[in-house]
Structure 1
Amino acid sequence: MTAPTTRTATLDTRPLTERIDRRALREYRAGLPGEVRPPLMAAIWPAVVLAVLPVLFLSAWWFVLEDGSIPDEPWDRSALILLPYLALPVGMLVLLVRAVRRRSGVRQYRLDRFARANGLSYRPFAIPVALPGLIFTMGGTSVVRDLLWRGGRSPLSVGNQRTTIGSGRNRKEHRWGYVALRLPVALPHIVLDAAGNNSLLHPRLPVAYAKDQRLSLEGDFDRHFELYCPRGYETDALYLFTPDIMARFIDTVAELDVEIVDDHLFLYSPKDLSTLDPEVWTWLMSVVDILTERIAQWERWRDRRLEPVDAATMPGSFPLIRPPRGVAGQGRRLSRRTGWWWVIGLALAVYGWYLIIGDAVRAITGG
């Protein structure tokens, strides 16, 4: 594998913080798509609504006071009901400031210049490509913002994905920052759930895997990661995660979830990874450099479960001494944990309908 063009030692983060040419910003902002820079009225009307509501409510409250239908001393504890409405103008100002900042194009302009300075391409808004990672196969509607990528022999992409599943009250948005690296060879499906980014608001990965696929490794690795590999691939996981590789993962990506699937390695974070923070980019590119160098040795891995191709019968060829590249079917995907709640709910619903229909039949037949 050739070394990546973006090295930490040569990473130029100045475009993320340096002074902006306002004329160049205006020209750049004019070309931003509507998904990134919506019309001004669409950005302002929520703030206008929040500004009008407290005025209407306070007018109604004053009318009640003048009408004399409440005690002579209205400004007692009952007046505390006004506090939420008085807070609406504050919310209006917050929405207005956020809308103006989002439409300014400063974030997109800085990231675009940062990408150009480091041999990367940038797109402020994109529909996710068909990647095999778990956050890309959740279903729902997904968009990627602030996508930076490079091609070549060592492809890399960094972005912030938003996935919306369901609608109405059942609507839920999943937010992930991710890094996607291309591996030199397809590997078994392996997931490392980092303990460092689990919290009450973000407990763990959106997919639960069967517990019998959990593999315990030596040293402190289990304190930082829960490693899952397909059943029967424990020896392969130990070959891939040698002590030096485990040490590198602990030192560099202990705050990130890791997924190896097909010929990709993904890093996931509940926070944005494509940011305007130079320190985040310096850390992220150092992680990419280290992993790119370390995982090069994985190119020698072969799945012994694949049948070797019989090349001895081919004219002018030599017999293969090891299996071809690839992963056998049982190692390509982890088994997911079965969710029994929907089965129980369905059974209860069927039983409920059975009782209702039975009562209706007895009422009609008089039985």
Structure 2
Amino acid sequence: MTSRFDDVALRAPVDPALARAEGRELVRHEGGRSGEAAAGGWIVFQSAVLVVGAGALAALCVLMVQLMFGAPGADATTVVIAGLMVVPLAVMRIRGVVRGRRASEVGWYRLRRFTEANGMSYTAVEKDPVRPAALFRVGSLRVAGDLVTGTAHRPFEVANYAYSTWTGSTRMPHTACYVMFTVRTALPPMTLVTAARDVPSCAWGVPPSHRPLVMGGSFDVHFQVLCAPQDDDAVRRLLTPAVQETLVELAGNCDVEIVDGRVFFIARWALPNTAPAFWEWIEDLAALVDEQLDRQGGSAVPGRRVADEARRSRRATLFARTRLRGTAVVGCLIPLLFGVVAAALTSANMW
């Protein structure tokens, strides 16, 4: 792969109308008109279930308050107050769906042009992808989205991946972002499991033949190393102090698996693949594979980029987890407070 990506397409302004037209064309191409209708219908169904369910809970809350203040039971005010309580939720849901669809359309638009400019291929959706990493052997409803592949110099593949596991009858959705590089050198199979904080638990496991390997030093604080006992010496030779340092810097929030001539870097949630910083990270991972793992030579030197503070800062934003803000919490509490006060006042005045 190239040592530097041309990211102009990720930064240039986007015509929303053109992005919308291309987005609709892409949806029809992937699922046909029936698929487009089904996707829209599913969103409507989900929204209706969410709003109706929230409305039922709101009505129950209003009724309880009314009964506490002496009302004989539910009446028209119960329905009206509950309806007003869920209006903000309905508005937020509609706005969220619209914003999400527009963001997807802009993302598709940018990625298609970005991959064309860099001689790569782009696939919007691949269902049930088969890859040798353990990630792809668990769950169902498995889909790789925004799949980008490159073949020049260093074959690689990157995608945001979604799958589901089940606990009884409860579906548990999961997301991950994986980067896969093909290597030419015979590397020992191994798995590095991140010990980073604020990283969601993973649903996949390591091969049963793998056992923990203590490396010593600070590396064991960042990763748990697992491999087959017969590969212990080869793994130690590969994971030199320089390789350890670069892995912690570039992939400290990821799991790493080496299997069948491929190196997988796996983040346990989807990453913003239209951000220029994302592709800087891919450049740095490619340099790590070229110069420190595969050792076949190349033009990129990982140490220089790892030491670049600006790149490090931009890379950190990729793995920053979105947290619920105080304004969002207040926004959720206001409708509840309104319902309680309105139910209490109407009940006290009427009875």
Tell me the TM-score normalised to structure 1 length. Answer: 0.65
- Give the letter for the 2:254 counterpart: L
Aligned to 1:262: 260
Give yes or no for the alignment of 1:272 onto 2:275.
no
Q: Compared with structure 1, are the counterparts of its residues 80 and 131 closer, same or farther at alpha carbon in structure 2 (3 Å cutoff)?
A: same
Aligned to 1:110: 110
1:32 positional shift = 1.3
Q: 1:133 and 1:64 mapped to 2: Cα distance?
A: 52
- Give the letter for the 1:25 counterpart: A
Over the residues paired in the alignment, what is the CA RMSD in angstroms? 3.9
1:132 positional shift = 0.4
Higher mean alpha-carbon deviation, 117-126 vs 154-163, is at 117-126
Q: Compared with structure 1, are the counterparts of its residues 198 and 186 closer, same or farther at alpha carbon in structure 2 (3 Å cutoff)?
A: farther
Indicate if the aligned counterparts of 2:175 and 2:269 stay in contact, CA closer than 8 A: yes
- Give the letter for the 1:116 counterpart: E
Higher mean alpha-carbon deviation, 227-236 vs 48-57, is at 48-57
Q: 2:266 and 2:116 mapped to 1: Cα distance?
A: 24
Aligned to 1:227: 225
Aligned residues: 286
Structure 1 stretches of 5 or more lacking a match? 300-367
Secondary structure of the structure 2 residue equivalent to 1:259? strand
1:203 positional shift = 3.1
Aligned to 1:244: 242
- Give the letter for the 1:191 counterpart: T
1:211 positional shift = 10
1:236 positional shift = 0.9
Q: Compared with structure 1, are the counterparts of its residues 103 and 217 closer, same or farther at alpha carbon in structure 2 (3 Å cutoff)?
A: same
1:238 positional shift = 1.2
Higher relative contact order (CA 8 A, sep 6+): 2
Q: 1:20 aligns with which of 2, 8, 14?
A: 14
1:30 positional shift = 3.1
Secondary structure of the structure 1 residue equivalent to 2:236? helix
Secondary structure of the structure 1 residue equivalent to 2:119? coil
- Give the letter for the 1:111 counterpart: L
Aligned to 1:156: 156
Higher mean alpha-carbon deviation, 259-268 vs 280-289, is at 280-289
Q: Radius of gyration: which is bigger?
A: 1
- Give the letter for the 2:242 counterpart: D
Structure 2 stretches of 5 or more lacking a match? 298-351
Aligned to 1:33: 27
Aligned to 1:130: 130
Tell me the TM-score normalised to structure 2 length. Answer: 0.68
CA deviation map 1:169-201 (0-9, x unaligned): 3322221110011011343320001112554xx
- Give the letter for the 1:294 counterpart: Q
Secondary structure of the structure 2 residue equivalent to 1:196? coil
Q: 1:93 and 1:248 mapped to 2: Cα distance?
A: 46
Aligned to 1:315: none
Indicate if the aligned counterparts of 2:55 and 2:86 stay in contact, CA closer than 8 A: no
Trace 1:90-239 onto structure 2 (pairs within 5 A).
90-104=88-102, 105-166=105-166, 169-196=169-196, 199=199, 202-204=200-202, 206-207=204-205, 213-239=211-237
1:221 positional shift = 1.1
**Could you say which structure has the higher helix fraction?**
2
Higher mean alpha-carbon deviation, 264-273 vs 19-28, is at 19-28
Indicate if the aligned counterparts of 1:16 and 1:110 stay in contact, CA closer than 8 A: yes
1:112 positional shift = 1.5
Secondary structure of the structure 2 residue equivalent to 1:193? strand
Indicate if the aligned counterparts of 2:189 and 2:231 stay in contact, CA closer than 8 A: no
1:284 positional shift = 2.9
Q: 2:58 and 2:236 mapped to 1: Cα distance?
A: 68
Q: 1:139 and 1:56 mapped to 2: Cα distance?
A: 32
Indicate if the aligned counterparts of 1:186 and 1:264 stay in contact, CA closer than 8 A: no
Q: 2:254 and 2:268 mapped to 1: Cα distance?
A: 9
